[in-house]
A = this chain, B = another copy of it.
């Protein structure tokens, strides 16, 4: 994605086009303004004859109700905002879709934006959405301080954090069991005889990355294996860096015999590197991949259910709006270990 010049989110320029309003319709139909409103909204108390005249005028003028004005009057926008990291990431597509589906079921539209993992951009987006008066906000946090949302939440904007917890405020959040999933995945490798197990993850300032790392450490400790620094790579997930990290831990006198990959972006690079190795290196990856079962060997993964996460978050959001909920809660969804071969390879010393 190319860097595009930034311009503050806001309005500019002049009015485009000229649309008929209810007033125009009323004039044409020879009725009052409110009668048009009644017809448009299907309210009772309009004679069939009057309704027909109004409907005709509507059709003739191509009138369409202006929901902006409606929003202003009613105070609700019937739209929710979704701030995520990158819509192009295969993990967020299904998540976003699930949120949209729930929103749709509640008659709401979805506005979304990508933070590109930039806390400032996350804040800018979230506040822009609040300025639009979205009824609720689903946020996949990039930053770790969300106090800027306090006035919004106080003002009634329903808010659910997803994938990573909110920072420095008390709010609903829906997470995967990153710790448990990673621990299970690494334990799986241990169970297949591995002791020198590498971990390649994202920057630990990202909650999921930190939790998965913690899971890795826990599993190793459970197995009584002291972890060596050379086995861990915690940093950016660009292919170059991951490749170097992988190659490094696969070389030397005591190379790792298995790798635990911390997320889907890391995984694709790791798979490439492993495919180039002479010896077979075991792999368990966090996040599922579309063709994981067709590779040789199939990739054993710790799968998150992105759709379930999105659905849960959105449902909770609307529960907040319904007033069903009282206290913020932290919901952790389980992960699922799917064995396909790569995680069951024995150590090749």
A-side residues, CB < 8 A to B, are 1-2, 4-19, 62, 64-72, 74-79, 86-90, 92-94, 96-98, 100-102, 104-114, 127-133, 135, 150-152, 154-157, 268, 271-272, 275, 289-292, 294-296, 307, 321
In the bound complex, do residue A101 and residue B295 qualify as a contact, i.e. CB atoms below 8 Å apart? no
- Which residues on B sit within 8 Å (CB–CB) of A290? 90, 268, 289-291
Q: A87-B93, A87-B100 are in contact. Are A133 and B295 (CB under 8 A)?
A: no
Q: A88-B97, A90-B290 are in contact. Are A156 and B17 (CB under 8 A)?
A: yes
Beyond A7-B105, A110-B112, A296-B296: 14 further Cβ-contacts under 8 Å? Answer: A1-B98, A1-B307, A5-B105, A11-B74, A11-B77, A17-B156, A68-B68, A68-B71, A87-B94, A89-B93, A111-B111, A272-B294, A291-B295, A294-B295
- Which residues on B sit within 8 Å (CB–CB) of A106? 7
In the bound complex, do residue B67 and residue A131 qualify as a contact, i.e. CB atoms below 8 Å apart? yes
Residue of B nearest to A293 (CB): B272
Bound CA span A17–B150, Å: 13
Residue of B nearest to A7 (CB): B107
- Which residues on B sit within 8 Å (CB–CB) of A296? 296
Residue of B nearest to A125 (CB): B109
- Which residues on B sit within 8 Å (CB–CB) of A307? 1, 88
In the bound complex, do residue B130 and residue A64 qualify as a contact, i.e. CB atoms below 8 Å apart? yes
Q: Would you list 25 pairs from A and B whose C-beta atoms are within 8 A, ordered by A residue?
A: A2-B101, A9-B109, A10-B107, A11-B70, A11-B74, A11-B107, A14-B76, A16-B75, A16-B155, A17-B154, A17-B156, A62-B150, A64-B127, A64-B131, A64-B151, A64-B152, A65-B131, A68-B71, A87-B94, A87-B97, A90-B93, A104-B113, A110-B113, A289-B291, A290-B291
- Residue of A17, A88, A156, A272 ringed by the most chain B CB atoms within 10 A: A88
Bound CA span A290–B109, Å: 30
In the bound complex, do residue B68 and residue A133 qualify as a contact, i.e. CB atoms below 8 Å apart? yes
- Which residues on B sit within 8 Å (CB–CB) of A135? 16
- Which residues on B sit within 8 Å (CB–CB) of A109? 9, 111, 113, 128-129, 132
Q: A93-B89, A111-B109, A131-B65 are in contact. Are A11 and B100 (CB under 8 A)?
A: no
